Amino acid sequence: MKKVLCLLTALMLCFAMAIPAYAEEFVPSIGYKDEPDVEGNPVLVEGDTRTELDADCLVITPVSDAQDKKEEDRNDAEKLLVDVYAQLSDGSMKLPFKTGKDMVIRDLVDASLVCGDVHTDPSHVEALAKEGVMLEVTFDLGVEKDVNVVVMTYIDGKWAPIEKVTNNGDGTVTCLFEEICPVVFCVGEADVPKTGDTMMEDMMVWLIIFAVSLIAIAVLVILRKKNLKRAK
């Protein structure tokens, strides 16, 4: 009897000690997150010429906003964003990483310029389509200064890393886009803060502990009955 109780107690302690470690595991998720903040105004860059646009010219749409809409209410960009998210989530779409280490998608958004003659003639949308014109945008991703951030755009059905990504060391990352569309921000798996939602994992651990407790009670009841029979 004492040996059985010691074994069950040890099992319970093992499960209890495992709770903090299990609960802090990060589960990468690119859904139901707000869009990263844009620092300053977007800038059209053509050689040495820099044309600052109004902040409202750039619209950033996270997956969560697109998913919250009914399918019939989504615009083309939002439909593409939801479709890309689904493919990345089920593993049918892969990103062409060349970093030599495991990478995690930190954010997935659609970036779109609003048409109109704001600072350029012709419009800034048409200007970006010109050869040699790029859009500079600084995002607040909250990354550490030594973190390698890989940014990719989804153009013509393919993901391609953008060449000019600068970690500014203050949590922000400056990107130069030739085109904008669905964009992913990726970091090394070891660089992802362990702040994911672990409610389900916590529940699973407590359910396991509850199950072990029931088994322990059942074993004790059975052993007690056997001892009573032997005593008679």
| Burial grade of 182 (CB within 10 A; 0-12, 13-18, 19 or more) | buried
DSSP sequence for 41-54: EEEEEETTEEEEPP
| Burial grade of 55 (CB within 10 A; 0-12, 13-18, 19 or more) | exposed
Q: Classify residue 117 by its DSSP letter.
A: -
Which residue would you say has higher pLDDT here, 223 or 91?
91
- Please count the other Cβ atoms lying within 10 Å of the Cβ belonging to residue 152: 21
pLDDT of amino acid 28: 46
Which residue would you say has higher pLDDT here, 71 or 221?
71
> 75-130, pLDDT tens digit by residue?
999 999 999 999 988 888 888 887 667 788 888 999 988 755 444 444 566 667 77
Which residue would you say has higher pLDDT here, 64 or 6?
64
- Its pTM stands at 0.66
- Secondary structure class of 175 (helix, strand, coil): strand
pLDDT exceeds cutoff 80 at 14? no
pLDDT of amino acid 32: 63
Spell out the alpha helix ranges (H) of 69-198. Answer: 76-90, 124-128
Which residue would you say has higher pLDDT here, 17 or 155?
155
The closest alpha carbon to 109, from 87, 82, 91, belongs to 82
> 154-185, pLDDT tens digit by residue?
998 999 999 899 999 999 999 999 888 899 99
pLDDT of amino acid 121: 42
pLDDT of amino acid 99: 66
Q: How confident is the model at residue 2 (pLDDT cuts 50, 70, 90)?
A: low
The closest alpha carbon to 155, from 182, 184, 135, 121, belongs to 182
pLDDT of amino acid 197: 47
> 186-212, pLDDT tens digit by residue?
988 766 655 444 455 556 666 777 777
pLDDT of amino acid 16: 47
pLDDT of amino acid 97: 81
Provide the mean pLDDT of the chain: 77
Q: Output the six-digit token pair for 58.
A: 């750039």
